[in-house]
Amino acid sequence: MRLAFRLARRELRGGVRGLRIVLACLALGVAVIAAVGSLRSGVALGLKEDGRRILGGDLDVQGGAQKLPDSLAPWIAARGGHSSAVIEMRSMLVAPPLASGGSERQLIELKAVDGNWPLVGAASFEPAMTVEDALKPVNGRYGIAVEPIVRDRLELKIGDAVRVGSANFTLRAVIASEPDRVSGPSILGARALISADALPATELIQPGAMLSHSLRAVLPPGDNPAELGTAIRSAYPGEGWRIRDAGSAAPGTERFIEQTSLFLTLVGLTALLVGGVGVANGVGAWLDARSETIATLRCLGATSGLVFRVYLIQVLALSAAGVALGVAVGGLIPFAAAGVLGAALPVPPRPGPFAGPLLLAATYGLLTALAFALWPLGRAARISGAALLRDSAAPNAAGQRRGVAVAALGAGGLLIGLTVATAPDGMLAVYFCAAALVTLAIFHAGAWVLRAIARRVPRPRAAWARLGLASLHRPDGGAAALMLVSVGIGLSTLAAVAMIEGNLRAELLSEIPAEAPSFYFIDIQNDQLPQFLALLGRTPGVEEVKHVPNLRARVVAVNGVPAEQAKASADTQWALRGDRGLTYAATVPEGSRIVEGPWWPADYTGPPLLSFDAELAKGWGLHIGDTLAVNVLGREVTLKVANLREAAWRSLGINFTLVVSPGYFENAPHTHIATVRARPEAEGAILRAVTDALPNVTGIRVSDILTSVAALLDRIGTALAATGSVTLAAGALVLAGVVAAGQRRRVREAVILKTLGGTSGQIRGAWLVEFGVLGLAAGVIAAIVGSAASFGVMRFLMHAPFDLLPKTLAATIAACVGSLLLLGWLGTAAALRAKAAPYLRNE
Amino acid sequence: MDAVPPPVAPLAPHMDPTAATGSAALVRARDLRLTVPSAAGPVNILRGINLDIAAGEAVGVVGPSGSGKSSLLMVLAGLERPTGGSVRLAGHELTALGEDALARLRRATVGIVFQSFHLIPTMTALENVAVPLELAGAADALARAEATLREVGLGHRLGHLPAQLSGGEQQRVAIARAFVAEPRLLLADEPTGNLDRATGAVVMDVLFALRERAGTTLMLITHDPELAARCGRQIHMQDGLIEPLAHAAP
């Protein structure tokens, strides 16, 4: 082994030029994975460290629409705790009347806080003042603080009088920071903060109104919040409250971060996979250039094992350098990104460094290097000394050493195992690995088919076209496969990402049904409904009004198993938490389809039956005849599942998870939810008319939501494209490596062709045919692979319909052809500039 | 398209060892100079060559390594641009032609055989030989290439790649490639330098036989006095200049 090291060291003195691409490929992939892992750890640590602040205390008890009992705060105080009550809901903030009459209004997320808020951290305002000063009554009018976006949209000034519900407020301040809020896009309204004492005057708290009561508590040092949570559940059994401690302050955010980082890690792995192809190619080309040295070593008595070790040491040394570079860059990215991404992430990421993700990224890098480099190394070790006597030092045709083949496959297997083992969603990682292997196989098969076609196609008349086509099926046409893979995988990823984004956009925005409503109006009290309908009846521009009863229900138990212990699939767990909409109906709701079980008779009056969402039922394992216990207005009701229903969520109509048979909830206090379809020019007037006449009613404009969703999709699209570009960058590196490896041969060929009378036009034409056909093939395969991948994601992960997007596909193919033609052109220019004499002189 | 310009009137032959021995000169070089830069200062490779080669003539060029023989061949083939003087090939002033015009002139007029064969490694013997004809747009390129390969005794090696051929066979492919377009001038740069004596002799027999049949003008660079002696005229190069040498009968 010492001899191997000594020989390797001597060889490395000659430089590592041929292996630079290998180094770059590994560094890029490892950097992405290390950066994603570090950012994920940074955000997770941020969430953990800020858990108390984000939660608003050591413990948070959420009662949903149901008010928490007055005895809870004293109960906590008796155990040394200190609590603060918070109520959140949606409402409208109405600006001062305009000179022209009427006034602008804006959907807000209203938060009413008591005097103890915030228990942890501090709120800050512009201009600077205390919470008390911002919200307290002055001259009989309470203060309100809003997010900057509300002030800007409604063109408010500090001191303006604004209305929320039935109460007037003075705009005292703009919220600069709110400690117990995880930052994120607000689709359904921006924050407005008022005192809880001011809430009654707004008259927003009505029976059945959609709001959320919560109580936060800080405990004496040393007390265990989880134990207190358990004690609360025991003291207040059957309440179905959601009780969280700081360890799970933002479970939704944690899930989001986990899923995003999984996606980004898979992108990094794709980049590493493409890089692996570059490693195989780079190492192969580098060893080709050393074939004479290897043959000489063999002539001088080196065993094939020694040769293998000598070159393995060099490749590993270079790979380690590439991996180290990747780890260093990836580890530093969170430091740089903290400033840029701070606003986009839910909490500022802690910059680290984090040993775990860096070590994992390094392991991925080294395993990739091994999996892809062992094969060419094994072949090189089989070069015999007799090769010196031949023209080309080709490896022994006997094939690969079994041990090397096993080791290469083992490294690949470990790589797959590591990917699956470290992914939060193992099955997704399995699918990814399978898809990656299939994609590699497809591109290799594509190259084989291309060569076969090029061999059989009738010979074109023009010499340049004939030479170009012939280049595709020459004995060294392996380069064609490499070019296909290197360009194709990157563009496949981009195509898939573009198709997913395009489909999401089409799904959410473009295909808004013609009968989609213009507004949702929520919190219409039972006794307000006639007035609401009459008002709309005389307002011009209203085309259609639909309304249904609306109650808020919290799932307490599934088949007798408490909701917090109930088993549910990953994509349906969300519905076990928080309030769900519940309505009652005698007939099948419009837009719904019964998929299992009978609908109840219209005159049914027996025990309450449930028509449940079929997708959720599948996720929860609920069948016809099973029971679901829900808490409605503080009372627990057990519902028997009578049928399962598919709701047409895409119609944007009113759909409910829980539809109950009539005769049970009619007399319970509840609200109505209504959809209004109106002419666009009448929308402003309708919103003003309804929310002026019924101040507690909140109007949500569909077009505003869609605008917010579009903006969010733009951000997601940009982020997806940026990450997808990483694989393209890796592909470009590999492609550059492939072309560079073959460039000397190509220049030599061009020189010989020139010597034989080939003009620059003919040589250029031949190259452009070769690269153009390769680009076209890569583009077509990338379009197919990208379509298949996006189909899989849309259909099986997002459960959404999928459409082929011809423009995206055409752009993918055009990008492939364009990039390869450009490369061909650049390569030709370099070859045509080369002087003939140095290549032709006697060697 | 920069086409090959029409030939100009031939110059009168000079009465010195560099002069052509027969009819009008196919190649005419005057005060031909080639200087290349180097780290140690400019290197004068050709220092004023005057040379006429008549159509149908065979000229052997001998001289020590570094005397400028291969550079002279490169310049005469239009593969290297002289830094001074003039060189005419088949009536065309090479220094006035662009790269593509030179390529077309080579395609129509010149065949070259190298010591290192310079076959395209990814093409079969047949494809290698057909290339000059294909570049010239000949419809029967493959048929003519096959006929020429049979002529040099390689009819059984048509589909072989260069790496699958012996050195002698590779050089015979190179000779077939040089002759296939029936050039007026054949330039050969130590064509037996990489071959053993017996193989070299076979290869040269092939070359001279083809030249005899086609009446091709030949300029043969060699270190082998016997081989040079097979040419009608020998010139000796030394330090980038042609030195006087005995004439042999054509």
- Please check whether residues A213 and A66 belong to one and the same domain: yes
State which of A393, A424, A455 marks the end of a domain. A424
More confident residue, A182 or A130: A130
For residue A13, the model assigns a pLDDT of 67
Q: Do A837 and B161 touch (CB under 8 A)?
A: no
Domain membership of residue B248 (yes or no) is no
**Closest A-chain CA to B106:** A757
Q: Do B79 and A391 touch (CB under 8 A)?
A: no
Point out which residues pair with A579 in neighbouring strands: A554
Residue count (chain B): 250
CB A177 within 8 A of CB A125: no
- Please check whether residues A306 and A231 belong to one and the same domain: no
A731 to chain B nearest CA, in Å? Answer: 26
Domain membership of residue B209 (yes or no) is yes
The H-or-E segment that residue A270 falls in is helix A251-289
Q: Which residues of A touch B107 (CB under 8 A)?
A: 756-758
Domain membership of residue A695 (yes or no) is no
- Percentage with pLDDT > 70 across chain A: 90
Q: Which residues of B touch A753 (CB under 8 A)?
A: 120, 131, 135
Q: Residue B248 — very low, low, confident or very high, per pLDDT cuts 50/70/90?
A: very low
- Please check whether residues A59 and A205 belong to one and the same domain: yes
Number of folded domains that form chain B: 1
- The one-letter amino acid code at A775 reads G
A833 to chain B nearest CA, in Å? Answer: 10
Q: Residues of B numbered 55-94 whose beta carbons fall under 8 angstroms of chain A's beta carbons: which are they?
A: 70-71, 74, 77, 79-80
- Please check whether residues A342 and A274 belong to one and the same domain: yes
Token representation of residue A33: 């994975």
pLDDT in tens, A589-602: 887 889 999 999 98
CB B103 within 8 A of CB A757: yes
Q: What is the DSSP string of A502-513?
A: HHHHIIIIIT--
- Please check whether residues A104 and A30 belong to one and the same domain: no
Q: At what angle do helices B141-151 and B125-135 cross, to 10 degrees?
A: 130
Token representation of residue A19: 């292996």
How many of the other CB atoms lie within 10 Å of CB of A451?
A: 17
In whole angstroms, give the CA distance from residue A515 to residue A675: 11
Handedness of CA A371, A372, A376, A381 (dihedral sign): negative
- Please check whether residues A67 and A211 belong to one and the same domain: yes
Domain membership of residue B139 (yes or no) is yes
CB A714 within 8 A of CB A185: no
A467 to chain B nearest CA, in Å? Answer: 9
Token representation of residue A585: 């109906």
Angstrom CA distances, B87 to A706, A765, A819, B236, stand at: 77, 31, 43, 19
In whole angstroms, give the CA distance from residue B243 to residue B240: 10
ipTM of the shown complex = 0.70
Q: Residue A304 — very low, low, confident or very high, per pLDDT cuts 50/70/90?
A: confident
SS3 content of chain B, % helix, strand, coil (to 5): 35, 25, 40
Q: Is some CB atom of chain A closer than 8 A to the CB atom of B248?
A: no
In whole angstroms, give the CA distance from residue A373 to residue A283: 6
Q: Which residues of B touch A397 (CB under 8 A)?
A: none
**Closest A-chain CA to B123:** A474
C-alpha closest to that of A732 among A285, A271, A265, A268: A271
Mean pLDDT value across chain A:
82
- The one-letter amino acid code at A483 reads M
Q: Is some CB atom of chain A closer than 8 A to the CB atom of B177?
A: yes
For residue A187, the model assigns a pLDDT of 59
pLDDT in tens, A63-83: 877 788 999 999 999 988 899
In whole angstroms, give the CA distance from residue A683 to residue A541: 8
Token representation of residue A578: 């928080």
Q: What domain range includes position B119?
A: 56-78+98-243
C-alpha closest to that of A408 among A588, A261, A280, A232: A280
In whole angstroms, give the CA distance from residue A815 to residue A775: 8
- Give the CATH number of the domain where residue B116 resides: 3.40.50.300
Given a cut of 80, is residue A692 above it in pLDDT?
Answer: yes
Q: Is some CB atom of chain B closer than 8 A to the CB atom of A111?
A: no
In whole angstroms, give the CA distance from residue A355 to residue A337: 18
- Percentage with pLDDT > 90 across chain A: 17
Phi/psi at A127 (5° precision): -65, 160
Q: Is some CB atom of chain A closer than 8 A to the CB atom of B108?
A: yes
For residue A249, the model assigns a pLDDT of 63
B231 to chain A nearest CA, in Å? Answer: 22
Q: Is some CB atom of chain B closer than 8 A to the CB atom of A834?
A: no
In whole angstroms, give the CA distance from residue A390 to residue A384: 11
- The one-letter amino acid code at A217 reads A
pLDDT, mean of residues A655-660: 86
Domain membership of residue A701 (yes or no) is no
For residue A477, the model assigns a pLDDT of 53
Q: Is some CB atom of chain A closer than 8 A to the CB atom of B138?
A: no
DSSP 8-state class, residue A797: I
Token representation of residue A781: 């395969």
- Please check whether residues A489 and A547 belong to one and the same domain: no
Domain membership of residue B220 (yes or no) is yes
pLDDT in tens, B185-215: 999 999 988 888 888 898 899 899 999 988 9
For residue A241, the model assigns a pLDDT of 80
Q: Do B122 and A758 touch (CB under 8 A)?
A: no
Q: What domain range includes position A290?
A: 1-50+269-424
> Which of B119, B122, B137 is the closest to A474 by Cβ?
B122
Q: Do B114 and A754 touch (CB under 8 A)?
A: no
In whole angstroms, give the CA distance from residue A806 to residue A724: 19
Domain membership of residue B42 (yes or no) is no
Domain membership of residue A525 (yes or no) is no
3-state secondary structure of A87: strand
Q: Do B71 and A758 touch (CB under 8 A)?
A: no
Given a cut of 60, is residue B10 above it in pLDDT?
Answer: no
Phi/psi at A121 (5° precision): 75, -170
Q: Residue B76 — very low, low, confident or very high, per pLDDT cuts 50/70/90?
A: very high
pLDDT, mean of residues A631-637: 81
Least confident range from A329-333, A541-545, B38-42: namely B38-42
Q: Do A837 and B71 touch (CB under 8 A)?
A: yes
3-state secondary structure of A592: strand
How many of the other CB atoms lie within 10 Å of CB of A99?
A: 4
In whole angstroms, give the CA distance from residue A322 to residue A361: 12
Least confident range from A171-185, A314-328, A780-794: namely A171-185
pLDDT in tens, A497-545: 888 878 877 776 655 566 778 888 988 888 889 999 999 898 888 888 9
| Pairing between β-strand B185-189 and β-strand B217-221 as defined by DSSP bridges | parallel
In whole angstroms, give the CA distance from residue B205 to residue B155: 17
Q: Do B131 and A753 touch (CB under 8 A)?
A: yes
> Which of A467, A755, A843 is the closest to B79 by Cβ?
A755
Q: Is some CB atom of chain A closer than 8 A to the CB atom of B223?
A: no
Q: Do A755 and B80 touch (CB under 8 A)?
A: no
Q: Is some CB atom of chain B closer than 8 A to the CB atom of A397?
A: no
Q: Do B122 and A759 touch (CB under 8 A)?
A: no
Q: Do A757 and B162 touch (CB under 8 A)?
A: no
Given a cut of 60, is residue A478 above it in pLDDT?
Answer: no
Number of folded domains that form chain A: 4
In whole angstroms, give the CA distance from residue A610 to residue A617: 11
- Please check whether residues A89 and A4 belong to one and the same domain: no
> Which of A466, A745, A752 is the closest to B118 by Cβ?
A752
Q: Which residues of A touch B69 (CB under 8 A)?
A: none
- Please check whether residues A195 and A236 belong to one and the same domain: yes
Least confident range from A204-208, A343-347, A466-470, B163-167: namely A343-347
For residue B12, the model assigns a pLDDT of 36
How many of the other CB atoms lie within 10 Å of CB of B155?
A: 12
For residue A392, the model assigns a pLDDT of 46
pLDDT in tens, A220-267: 888 888 888 889 888 887 677 888 887 766 666 666 777 777 777 777
- Please check whether residues A468 and A598 belong to one and the same domain: no
Q: What is the pTM of this model?
A: 0.68
Q: Which residues of A touch B181 (CB under 8 A)?
A: 757
Domain membership of residue B115 (yes or no) is yes
Beta strands (DSSP E) in chain B are: 25-36, 43-54, 58-62, 84-89, 92-93, 110-113, 185-189, 217-221, 233-238, 241-243
Interface test with A, best of B118, B170, B182, B223 (most A CBs within 10 A): B118
Q: Please list, residue by residue across A298-335, b when 16 or more beta carbons sit within 10 angstroms of its beta carbon and e when fewer do.
A: beeebebebbbbbbbbbbbbbbbbbbbbbbbbbbbbbe
Given a cut of 70, is residue A400 above it in pLDDT?
Answer: no
- Please check whether residues A109 and A216 belong to one and the same domain: yes
For residue A327, the model assigns a pLDDT of 94
Q: Residue B250 — very low, low, confident or very high, per pLDDT cuts 50/70/90?
A: very low
Q: Residue B14 — very low, low, confident or very high, per pLDDT cuts 50/70/90?
A: very low
Residue carrying structure tokens 């999996």: A371
Q: Is some CB atom of chain B closer than 8 A to the CB atom of A836?
A: yes
Domain membership of residue A259 (yes or no) is no
Domain membership of residue B131 (yes or no) is yes
In whole angstroms, give the CA distance from residue A128 to residue A760: 73
- A245: Cα separation from own chain's centroid: 26
- Please check whether residues A738 and A829 belong to one and the same domain: yes
Q: Is some CB atom of chain B closer than 8 A to the CB atom of A386?
A: no
